[in-house]
A and B are shown apart, each in its own frame.
Chain A
Amino acid sequence: MSIFGHNGLSISRLNDRLSVTLQGDIVQETLMILSTDLLERVQTDRVNLVIFDLSSVDILDVTEFNALHRIALMIKLMGAESIFIGLNPGMVIFLVSAGADVSGINTAYGHEDIERALRLLNND
Chain B
Amino acid sequence: MDNEIEALKEKFNISAYDIELVRQAGALLVNFVPTLIDNWYLWLNKQEEFALFFGANKSNLKRVQEQQAIHWQSFFEANLNDNYIQSRRHIGQIHARINLPNDIYFAGMSFALQLITDGLWTIKPIPSNVGDMANALTKQLFLDTYLVIDEITRIQNFRLAESSKAMMEMSTPVTPIWEGILLLPLLGILDSSRTQDIMNKSLSKISETRTKVFILDISGVASVDTAVANQLIKITKATQLMGCEAIISGISPAIARTIIELGVNVGEVKTTSTLRDAFEIALKLINVHVSH
Contact = CB atoms under 8 A, between A and B. Distances in A.
B260 A46 contact: no
The secondary structure that dominates the A interface is: helix
B273 A42 contact: yes
Contacts of A36: 253
A78 B278 CA distance: 10
Contacts of A76: 271
Nearest to A38: B253
B258 to A, nearest CB: 10
A79 B277 contact: yes
A77 B256 CA distance: 6
Interface in A20-46: 35-36, 39-40, 42-43, 46
B274 interface: yes
A9 interface: no
B252 interface: yes
Q: Which of A36, A75, A78 has the most CB of B within 10 A?
A: A78
Contacts of A77: 251, 255-256, 259-260, 266, 271
Contacts of B272: 78-79
Contact of B277 (A46, A70, A75): A46
B259 A43 contact: no
A43 B274 contact: yes
A74 B260 contact: yes
A70 B260 contact: yes
A77 B272 CA distance: 6
Contacts, number: 48
Contacts of A73: 260
Contacts of A80: 273
B134 to A, nearest CB: 74
A120 B252 CA distance: 28
Contacts of A70: 260-261
Interface in A41-95: 42-43, 46, 70, 73-80
A70 B266 CA distance: 13
Interface of B: 249, 251-253, 255-257, 259-261, 266, 270-274, 277-278, 281
List the 7 shortest-distance A-B pairs measured between CB atoms, nearest first: A79-B272, A39-B253, A78-B273, A74-B256, A77-B256, A43-B273, A77-B271
6 contacts: A36-B253, A74-B253, A77-B251, A77-B255, A77-B271, A79-B251
